[in-house]
Chains A and B, each alone.
Chain A
Amino acid sequence: MQAQCCHRAALDRTAAFCDDCGQPLLRCPAFEECGGLLDSDGCCEECVAPELALDADGVRAARVGGALSLPLIVTNASRARRPLFVKGLWTREAGGDWRAVEVPWERLDAGTSAPIAVRAEALERAGVHQLEIALAVATRHQWREEVLAFTTGLALTVEGEEALTVQQNITYAADAPQTGATIYAPLRVQAAESPCAAPAAPKALPLTRASRLERALDLRGYDDGTVVPRTVRVVWRGFGDREAPPAGPIGGSEGLLTLGRSRARVGGGTNDARLLALAGPGDFSGIDEAASRGISRQHFGLCVENARLVLRVESDLGAWINGEQVPRGTSVLLRDGDRFSPIARTRGCLAVRASFESHHGVVETVTLTRF
């Protein structure tokens, strides 16, 4: 969670860093509505505040071999009054595989709750079992969506059949021959029943952010486990003077970089980087005006979404990504080495390549090189 000085500095929409502590300001994509900042894992606590509780009368004890159905309540406690979208619910016993639970609803408005039942499978051994519950929720703003997963645990008591058995054999015999017998008569001492009392009020289950589970369930990050944090440093290469911002994290009030024909902010415009077709490769002295007219004022949007670098095509003319045409309104996952260009005619003299520099599975620098 960012410091109070960062919250104060974030009030200046043009500020990218805190003037007091120098940390980059990680604004929530819905900053205009919530005014919140993201934590180190990319979660806005103003928007994403799910709560999970075991409903009243939910029993947590069963006999050996039985199954248990747990009534849960999911609550959206967002202080910013923003809705949450439940993307999935999973359960597993300790060490087992995650089982998806079908959730019949998706949207959960702020301040509202919705019930859902979770089933614990056949419990074959007596003792205390741990049931893990994973909840994936999403917050949306315009076309962007951030999915986050949380986990919690619940102890289940499984009671055995008996506690003590005293073996005794009784042998009796009558006067007549062959009338004796031996009777096997064990004494069973049954333990007093101690069922876990059902809570009279909903019992809150503390939720913990599950970053590893997010990667395992393919909710965040790339297939190979690499993640792009919100603090990733973007380096611009091959761009002309006053056509790209200095190297640094993605700032702005929405955490979105825009690229297009309009001038860059460092040059007094509205884009983060300016894309113009040059007369020749690397020749910034001349501009191919005919080709540049095929570039929209705001052609691309670049942002970090679900710990992945996402490129969105905003131009009606579409774009070419790795040689394939992509229509307007398409969000494409950018990987290391991907190339994109605004229009076909300028592929030879205007293309941008994204290069990742990562350590321990975390991308620290994204270099956007213009060709």
Chain B
Amino acid sequence: MHSKSLALSSPELLAEYVLQSELQGFLEKRFAAPPDHAAILIRDGRVVDTYKGAHFSIGGVLRGLLRFATGAQNVRVLLADLKPFSIQSPVRAITKDAVEVAGVVTLELQVDPDEPQNVMGLISPVGHLTRTGILERFRPHLADRVFESVLRQIEARELRGHTGVQDLLQGSVMRELERIAGNIGLTVRAVSAEWALSEVEREEMRYAQIDRQQDALDRSLEWVKRGLERNADAAEVQLKTSLDLTKLQLDSDDEIERLVLAREVELLDARESAQRRQELEALGHEIEVLQTERAARIENELAEAGQQIDLNRYRRALTRVNLEIEAMRATHAAEMRKLGAFAELDIDERQRTLELDVNGRAQRQSLEHIAGLQEIENSTAAHEARLAEEARNGQSRREVDAVRAEADARVAQMQAGANMSAEQVLAVNAGLSKDVAAVLVERARAEGGGHEQALGLMREMVSQATEARVASEAQAREMFRMGIDGAVGVARHTGGGQGADADPGAQVSASATAECPTCSRVNPAKARFCVGCGHQLRT
């Protein structure tokens, strides 16, 4: 006959009752308990038998007849997992040196294979037992009684890797669970704990890291020192070697004498070097003096060259004048010869006299020319200097005037902007003068209630004042005095919000209006364009 293998309905379960529906039947049913499970047969509340890895049967015709004869029987089967299982619980406690430590405790538990029926005491009302249910049940008993009391005896730095602590913890947990659950089918096989890093351990790790870094620095320093010493030793060895080689080369008195002479030559050379340096310094000083003198001489030469150029120009002018005089004289003599008015002697005498006279006059003229040109040159230079000064002064004055004008304009603009209200701006933009605008603003503020009302009233009054071509303050006051107040009253009514959207054409009499042929809007008769559509009403 085929046996039905029993199994727990969920891997999270540790024990559970087999459903009654699987047990009931008129015919006999055979069940097989797995080798690592215990099937506990309970009949009428009494444990009849326990099957481990065995087959058993329930029901059947004979038992049915017997049950029919003796009355109803209640049969239940409890299936329990006998394999060891582990549960983990977080633990947090204070150590002997008042350091908070945390960790995870792993409990290795097992349903007692010898008396598995005792686990019935742990079954929940719904008919099963879970691993987490066991943990939740025992955690309150372990927290203070075991973990806190054990860890209170240990210092934090001794906790990690301490087998004795683990054994103490395991023994304490076993004792406590034996006390609590010893007779309900649970045995404790092992207890171990893993610890998180505590504050003390973190500090020790940090100090250890700092020590390691310091050691690394010391080692680097040591290496650097050793490198320096090695270099120093090598240099020393090289010097000594050089000396030794020199000594080895001096294998005769002549060579020693030559060496001495060479050193004397070096000494002399050093003296000569110092002397040469002094000479070079003296030469450098002389070069500076020469440089300064040369610069000054270049300037003088430039000035003299300028004067020489002027003199050459004057000489050329003088030569040109002399040539002209000579030509005039020759022309004059030829004409006199043609006329025959003078004898040859007279002519020669006059010619000599004329030459002397001409030469003297030419010299005087040249001197006068030179003096005049010098004077002109001087006056020109003075004039140019004066013009330059005046130009600078004029530029400065213009800049000052520009800055002042700009500042004045800015001040005036700021003052105008600051002093004008929105109503005044509105009136001035419409072409009215400031005085008229002031009167209208005064009137608008007197008549209007709030700011919006005053603005609305202001618009109407500006419109009327523009149409009436009011140009002065007196005209504006006269306009109000002459009874335009009636119209202003209407405007105030409009500005006050009542009927603000009314058609403005309605305020104008019919005789003074013109209807737009395009949009039918009523415009003032004097309007050249329709204000609604822009159609030209008249030319």
Q: CA separation between A201 and B408, bound complex, in Å?
A: 12
Do A7 and B430 touch across chains, with their CB atoms under 8 A apart? yes
Question: How many residues on the B side are at the interface (Cβ–Cβ under 8 A)?
Answer: 48
Q: Which residue of A lies closest to B279 (CB)?
A: A174
Do A12 and B431 touch across chains, with their CB atoms under 8 A apart? no
Note all chain B residues with C-beta closer than 8 A to A185: 287, 291
Is A35 positioned at the interface, with any CB of B under 8 Å from its CB? yes
Q: Which residue of B lies closest to A22 (CB)?
A: B529
Most chain B CB within a 10 A radius of its CB, from A14, A15, A19, A37: A19
Q: CA separation between A246 and B410, bound complex, in Å?
A: 46
A19-B459 contact, Cβ under 8 Å, with A11-B430, A248-B534:
no
- Chain A nearest CB from B341 CB (Å) reads 67
A15-B531 contact, Cβ under 8 Å, with A35-B422, A35-B426, A170-B290:
yes
Residue in contact with A12 in the complex, picked from B286, B463, B533, CB distance below 8 Å: B463
Do B463 and A19 touch across chains, with their CB atoms under 8 A apart? no
Of residues 398 to 421 in B, which have CB atoms within 8 Å of A's CB atoms?
Answer: 403, 406-407, 410, 413-414, 416-418, 420
Is B519 positioned at the interface, with any CB of A under 8 Å from its CB? yes
Do B422 and A170 touch across chains, with their CB atoms under 8 A apart? no
Note all chain B residues with C-beta closer than 8 A to A36: 425, 429
Q: CA separation between A246 and B503, bound complex, in Å?
A: 18
Do A248 and B533 touch across chains, with their CB atoms under 8 A apart? yes
Do A19 and B430 touch across chains, with their CB atoms under 8 A apart? no
A19-B518 contact, Cβ under 8 Å, with A11-B463, A46-B425:
no
- Chain A nearest CB from B363 CB (Å) reads 42
Is B530 positioned at the interface, with any CB of A under 8 Å from its CB? yes
Do B527 and A7 touch across chains, with their CB atoms under 8 A apart? no
Question: How many residues on the A side are at the interface (Cβ–Cβ under 8 A)?
Answer: 45
Is B372 positioned at the interface, with any CB of A under 8 Å from its CB? no
Q: CA separation between A11 and B456, bound complex, in Å?
A: 9
Do B276 and A20 touch across chains, with their CB atoms under 8 A apart? no
Of residues 213 to 268 in B, which have CB atoms within 8 Å of A's CB atoms?
Answer: none
Note all chain B residues with C-beta closer than 8 A to A17: 529-534
Is A8 positioned at the interface, with any CB of B under 8 Å from its CB? yes
Is B173 positioned at the interface, with any CB of A under 8 Å from its CB? no
Q: Which residue of A lies closest to B421 (CB)?
A: A81
- Chain A nearest CB from B300 CB (Å) reads 15
Do B533 and A32 touch across chains, with their CB atoms under 8 A apart? no
Note all chain A residues with C-beta closer than 8 A to B365: none
Q: CA separation between A199 and B276, bound complex, in Å?
A: 58
A170-B531 contact, Cβ under 8 Å, with A11-B463, A201-B407, A246-B519:
no
Do A4 and B276 touch across chains, with their CB atoms under 8 A apart? no
Do B414 and A24 touch across chains, with their CB atoms under 8 A apart? no
- Chain B nearest CB from A292 CB (Å) reads 25
Most chain A CB within a 10 A radius of its CB, from B416, B528, B531, B533: B531
Residue in contact with B418 in the complex, picked from A4, A111, A168, CB distance below 8 Å: A111
Of residues 1 to 17 in A, which have CB atoms within 8 Å of B's CB atoms?
Answer: 4-5, 7-9, 11-12, 14-17
Note all chain A residues with C-beta closer than 8 A to B527: 19-20
Of residues 245 to 282 in A, which have CB atoms within 8 Å of B's CB atoms?
Answer: 246, 248, 266
Do A22 and B536 touch across chains, with their CB atoms under 8 A apart? yes
Is A183 positioned at the interface, with any CB of B under 8 Å from its CB? yes
Interface flags for A34-73 (1: CB within 8 Å of B; 0: not) read: 1111000000001001000000000000000000000000
Of residues 457 to 490 in B, which have CB atoms within 8 Å of A's CB atoms?
Answer: 459-460, 462-463, 466
- Chain B nearest CB from A62 CB (Å) reads 21
Note all chain A residues with C-beta closer than 8 A to B420: 79
- Chain B nearest CB from A26 CB (Å) reads 13
Do A79 and B417 touch across chains, with their CB atoms under 8 A apart? yes
Q: CA separation between A7 and B425, bound complex, in Å?
A: 11
Is A165 positioned at the interface, with any CB of B under 8 Å from its CB? no
Do A204 and B287 touch across chains, with their CB atoms under 8 A apart? no
Is B294 positioned at the interface, with any CB of A under 8 Å from its CB? yes
Most chain B CB within a 10 A radius of its CB, from A11, A16, A179, A183: A11
Do B422 and A18 touch across chains, with their CB atoms under 8 A apart? no
Is B455 positioned at the interface, with any CB of A under 8 Å from its CB? yes
Is B496 positioned at the interface, with any CB of A under 8 Å from its CB? no
A22-B528 contact, Cβ under 8 Å, with A4-B429, A17-B534, A81-B422:
yes
Question: How many CB-defined contacts (below 8 Å) exist between A and B?
Answer: 117
Q: CA separation between A163 and B5, bound complex, in Å?
A: 112
Note all chain B residues with C-beta closer than 8 A to A248: 533-534
Do A32 and B455 touch across chains, with their CB atoms under 8 A apart? yes
Residue in contact with A8 in the complex, picked from B466, B501, B529, CB distance below 8 Å: B466
Is A77 positioned at the interface, with any CB of B under 8 Å from its CB? yes
Is A21 positioned at the interface, with any CB of B under 8 Å from its CB? yes
Note all chain B residues with C-beta closer than 8 A to A266: 519
Note all chain B residues with C-beta closer than 8 A to A172: 283, 286-287
Is B524 positioned at the interface, with any CB of A under 8 Å from its CB? yes
Do B414 and A35 touch across chains, with their CB atoms under 8 A apart? no
Is B504 positioned at the interface, with any CB of A under 8 Å from its CB? yes
Do B430 and A4 touch across chains, with their CB atoms under 8 A apart? yes
Of residues 282 to 305 in B, which have CB atoms within 8 Å of A's CB atoms?
Answer: 283, 286-287, 290-291, 294-295
Q: CA separation between A300 and B527, bound complex, in Å?
A: 33
Q: Which residue of A lies closest to B534 (CB)?
A: A17
Do B425 and A35 touch across chains, with their CB atoms under 8 A apart? yes
- Chain A nearest CB from B521 CB (Å) reads 9
Q: Which residue of B lies closest to A36 (CB)?
A: B429
Q: Which residue of B lies closest to A5 (CB)?
A: B431
Is B523 positioned at the interface, with any CB of A under 8 Å from its CB? yes
Residue in contact with B287 in the complex, picked from A18, A32, A183, A199, CB distance below 8 Å: A183
Q: Which residue of B lies closest to A111 (CB)?
A: B418
Do B287 and A33 touch across chains, with their CB atoms under 8 A apart? no
Q: Which residue of B lies closest to A75 (CB)?
A: B414
Note all chain A residues with C-beta closer than 8 A to B416: 79
A16-B430 contact, Cβ under 8 Å, with A111-B418, A246-B519:
no
Residue in contact with A19 in the complex, picked from B414, B426, B529, CB distance below 8 Å: B529
Most chain A CB within a 10 A radius of its CB, from B403, B406, B417, B524: B417
Q: CA separation between A248 and B425, bound complex, in Å?
A: 29
Q: Which residue of A lies closest to B532 (CB)?
A: A16
Is A187 positioned at the interface, with any CB of B under 8 Å from its CB? yes
Of residues 125 to 181 in B, which have CB atoms within 8 Å of A's CB atoms?
Answer: none
- Chain B nearest CB from A49 CB (Å) reads 8
- Chain A nearest CB from B394 CB (Å) reads 18
Note all chain B residues with C-beta closer than 8 A to A174: 279, 283
Q: Can you name 17 A-B pairs with beta carbons within 8 Å? A: A7-B426, A8-B462, A9-B531, A11-B426, A12-B504, A17-B532, A19-B530, A19-B531, A20-B528, A21-B528, A22-B534, A36-B429, A172-B283, A172-B286, A174-B279, A187-B295, A246-B518
A4-B429, A35-B426 provided; 18 other pairs, C-beta below 8 A? Answer: A8-B430, A11-B460, A12-B531, A14-B532, A16-B533, A17-B531, A17-B532, A18-B529, A19-B527, A22-B536, A24-B534, A37-B429, A79-B425, A81-B422, A168-B291, A179-B279, A187-B291, A246-B533
